[in-house]
Amino acid sequence: MTKILALTGAGISAESGIRTFRDSNGLWEDHRVEDVASPEGFRKDPSTVWEFYKQRYAQSLGVDPNSAHLALVKLEEHFGDSFHLITQNVDGLHFRAGSQRVYEMHGRLQSCFCISCRTHYKVQDIIMESEVPRCKKCGDILRPDIVWFGEIPYYLYEIEDLLKNTDIFLIVGTSGVVYPAAGFVMTAKLFGAYTIGVNLEKPDNLGFFDEFHQGKCGDILPKVVGKLIDTYEH
Ligand code: NAD
């Protein structure tokens, strides 16, 4: 049974209308990354950070998954529980497309939690609340459920296990710059996986790909997925 693991980055959502960092000179929707995506930025100005993530949440609801997200759903339908998907994206578009075995390693826009008691809330339930929402249990402030720079990504144990045991590693729409995700291709290759990349530009870790397709993933990924489905039986 062939095992397939996919890793996606901001590029897969670009054709849905959500900008990547690299397209915007390292800015995230015109904000400096350290201001809106670091624990220090949140400590300094929690209301600006909350405003930013409320906007990102609203934006994510206003766009639709594209043909690249849907191609990964097809791959999962074919390979079933031999397929897993790791995403660096926080926009929820993989779930909305219909993917099920998804690891959102950098968190999710739909959720937030209390910095003291860690109670989780849905952003849709607090979006109309004050600039910096507060925990209904302990009264401390809530923060977006996003893994910021300098924090430890989610699911690292599960991801390490998947990387060491996959036959094929498919990497889509990611620059190969943001660690630890940028290093995943090296681990998978070291443990024997066949590695396939799809990206608009050549990624920084290009040397670790057995096969690389340059261009828009909305055009290319459905073809790559079609070939995988034709070649490998579940
Ligand atoms: P990145 O912005 O560093 O790189 C995106 C890559 O996608 C670039 O190399 C670019 O060439 C490529 N790309 C752009 N359009 C493409 C297309 N149509 N088809 C194929 N490739 C395309 O993104 P990253 O490496 O994923 O890291 C940035 C971090 O920022 C992520 O970890 C994520 O947490 C966060 N982020 C998330 C979102 C989102 O959830 N949609 C958007 C922006 C940033």
Q: Which range marks the domain in which residue 193 is found?
A: 1-17+64-106+153-234
Give the tens place of pLDDT for each residue, 26-61: 677 788 888 999 999 999 999 999 999 999 999 999
pLDDT at site 90: 97
* Same domain as 74, residue 39: no
Give the tens place of pLDDT for each residue, 121-138: 999 998 777 789 999 999
* Same domain as 161, residue 227: yes
* Same domain as 205, residue 98: yes
CATH number at residue 179: 3.40.50.1220
CATH number at residue 120: 3.30.1600.10
Cα separation of 173 and 124, whole Å?
28
Q: Select from 92, 120, 146 the last residue of a domain.
A: 146
Give burial (CB, 10 Å; 0-12/13-18/19+) of 91.
Answer: buried
Q: Whose CA is nearest to atom 17 of ligand 1?
A: 216
Q: Which ligand 1 atom minimizes the distance to the CA of 10?
A: 26
pLDDT at site 101: 98
* Same domain as 93, residue 175: yes
Q: Which ligand 1 atom minimizes the distance to the CA of 216?
A: 19
Low-confidence ranges of the chain (pLDDT < 50): none
Spatial strand order of the sheet with 107-114 comes to 120-122, 107-114, 142-146
Closest alpha carbon to 89 in 28, 30, 142, 31: 28
* Protein residues with CB under 6 Å of any ligand 1 atom: 9-11, 13-15, 18, 20-22, 28, 88-91, 106, 173-175, 177-178, 199-201, 203, 216-217
Residue 213 C-alpha to ligand 1 middle, in angstroms?
A: 16
Give the tens place of pLDDT for each residue, 103-114: 999 999 999 999
* Same domain as 170, residue 124: no
* Same domain as 7, residue 112: no
* Same domain as 85, residue 69: yes
* Same domain as 174, residue 123: no
Q: Select from 146, 166, 196 the last residue of a domain.
A: 146
* Same domain as 72, residue 124: no
* Same domain as 129, residue 218: no
* Same domain as 217, residue 136: no
* Same domain as 167, residue 206: yes
In the chain, % helix, strand, coil (3-state, to 5) comes to 40, 20, 35
Count up the domains in the chain and report the number. 2
pLDDT at site 24: 64
